[in-house]
Structure formats: structure tokens, C-alpha cells
Amino acid sequence: MAVVDSRELFRGRGGSQKYGEVPSYKREFLVRVDTMDTSETLIAQAPGIAMLDAHPDVAEALLNDVSVTQDGDSPFHYRVSLSYGVLEDADEDPLSRPDQFNYTGAITSGPAFLEYNDGNNSPKVITNSAGDPLEGMEMEKAEWRISITGNRADFDKGLAADYLNTINSDTYSGLVAGTVKCQGISGSRKIELVNGSKLVYWEVNVELAHREETWRLKTWDCGFNEVTGSPLERKKILDAAKKEVSQPVALSGGVQKAAGLRPDMLEFKVYKEKTFTGIFPALP
């Protein structure tokens, strides 16, 4: 069983392009074989054109799809259709293809603690006119959602579990510590033929989210007790009538502030922090 000959059908040449998209091209070959059980692999290889070879007229268009169909009712004639396109990842080895990045701006809702009197800088804690913090207020917040997809030889499930739901402890791709959170990591097993051999690899996807104001938990430094004396002792805060206060009082360093002063803001690291640089690809 063998291929007898192969010739291009010039009436099978063609191309198409839509506005804003890359062009595509087609070629067809008629292949004749001497037995009915000639393998489709041999037939597909008969034109002598390998995957990612350039189109004869358009060097930027590379072969990316080959199909074989019987020509009419003859068991000895086949049509081999070749499709060409302009590829971003023109590498036959999937492990050599560059990572892909996708950025999406998103609006989320969350508690409102700070106000910007000048519209941009010098944030202050939101309080009423007497300096008491206002609770239960919400606002919309902006964040960047970043999706990274790349091919890897293995998928380290332990490392993925270790980094899931953590934030960056370092400056990652210019983004300051505490502002990038790992929202998800997934791996999908893939199989391709590379140079005639089966290659098994993993397509890994990482979902990150960036918040400029950090992912740390914020709340007001207010309470009914203060820490004073030497040695330090926790005591109830009393009002002017020497009675225990009925509303939380603004604190600073564990001691009540003077009446009317804005409360301080406390920050808590509620997510584990890890080094992102060297674990996740650098962002373009």
C-alpha cells in the first residue's frame, strides 16, 4: 500500500478575510493510491507539506489544519485539504508556546470606610459631623481580573493548593504587596502529536485579581475598653458622669481619643501572603 502520485488542484485554492481579523487560505491536492487500505496518515503526508510550513504566496500564513476525504466514489483517489492562517503561537511544540494573558476590568461592591474630600488624595475615615463612624455603608470598587493560560509539562496540585486564596507578599510585576490575590488555579490534561510522537502536557490557568487598596481587612479602631496604666490594664471607658459608655469610643494605640476626633483605621492580614514572583509569569 503506497501513494502513487499527488498533484495540486489549483481550482481548490482560495482565501478569505474579514475586517479586523487575520486572513486564511486554502489549498487542495488530489492523491492517488494503489490499494484501498492505504493509511490516511500517508495520504495526508503525500503533498510533502508539514504542519506550520508557509503558504507559497503568503509567507506569514502557516499550515495549521489538514483534512483527508475520499474523492467521489473511487477508493483510490483522495482530496487533501490544507488550511493556512496567521498564527500567534507558531510553534509545533506546545511547551514552547508563549503564555496568554487576558485583562478584565470589573466593578465590585464592598464596605465604604474612606472619603476623598479633594476627589483623589488625602483619604479620611467616614464619620458623622460629631466624629462618630458611620456603619453599614457600601460603595463600588474597581479591580483588575487577570487570566493567565500556559502549557506546562506537569501540574503541581500541591503548589496550586498552597497558593489558592493567597495574596502577594512581594512586589509582583510592579504591583505592590498585598494588592494581588490568587482567585483560582486549574489544570487540564492535553495530548498532541509532535514530530509524529504523542506529547502529554497540562494547560494551566491562573486567575488573579488586583485591588489598589489591598486585600487586607479594614475596620475602625473603636470599642468600650481601653488599655492604660503601668503595668497595662484593660479598663472600661467611662463618660463624663463616670458611667460606662453605651456607644463605642474612638481609640488610638488602645487608648480613647478625645471626643469628636475621627477613629483610626485598623488593618488585618486575613489571607496568607506568599511570594508571587517566580511562581506566576511576569505580567506584560
pLDDT tens digits for range 151-162? 999 999 999 999
**110: pLDDT confidence band, cut at 50, 70 and 90?**
confident
**220: pLDDT confidence band, cut at 50, 70 and 90?**
confident
* pLDDT at residue 118, as a whole number: 65
Q: Is the pLDDT of residue 2 over 70?
A: yes
Q: Do the domain assignments include residue 278? A: no
One domain, residues 105 and 58: no
One domain, residues 152 and 185: yes
pTM to 2 decimals? 0.72
**What's the mean per-residue pLDDT of the chain?**
90
Q: Is the pLDDT of residue 77 over 90?
A: yes
* pLDDT at residue 75, as a whole number: 92
pLDDT (mean) for 96-101: 93
* pLDDT at residue 126, as a whole number: 81
Residue span of the structural domain in which 191 resides: 95-217
* pLDDT at residue 114, as a whole number: 78
Q: What are the pLDDT digits (tens) for 227-268?
A: 988 888 888 988 888 899 888 888 988 998 888 787 888 889
CA 71 vs CA 35, 74, 76, 83, 203: distances in Å: 15, 6, 8, 18, 37
Q: Is the pLDDT of residue 129 over 90?
A: no
pLDDT (mean) for 196-212: 94
One domain, residues 233 and 185: no
Q: Do the domain assignments include residue 247? A: yes
Q: Is the pLDDT of residue 8 over 90?
A: yes
One domain, residues 230 and 204: no
Is the distance from CB of 211 to CB of 174 less than 8 angstroms? Answer: no
Q: Which one has a higher pLDDT value, 171 or 96?
A: 171
**133: pLDDT confidence band, cut at 50, 70 and 90?**
confident
**Cβ-proximal residues to 219 (8 Å cutoff; 6+ apart), any chain:** 113, 265, 266, 268
Q: Which of 51, 66, 85 is the last residue of a domain?
A: 85
If one counts the domains in the chain, the total is: 3
**Cβ-proximal residues to 60 (8 Å cutoff; 6+ apart), any chain:** 54, 86
Q: Which one has a higher pLDDT value, 94 or 110?
A: 94
pLDDT (mean) for 120-148: 82
* pLDDT at residue 158, as a whole number: 97
pLDDT (mean) for 205-209: 98
One domain, residues 51 and 73: yes
One domain, residues 113 and 207: yes
Percent above pLDDT 90 for the chain: 56
One domain, residues 46 and 119: no
DSSP 109-167: EEE--EE-TTSSS--EE-B-TTSPBP-S-EEEEEEEEEEEEEEES---HHHHHHHTT-E
Q: Is the pLDDT of residue 120 over 70?
A: no
Q: Is the pLDDT of residue 195 over 80?
A: no
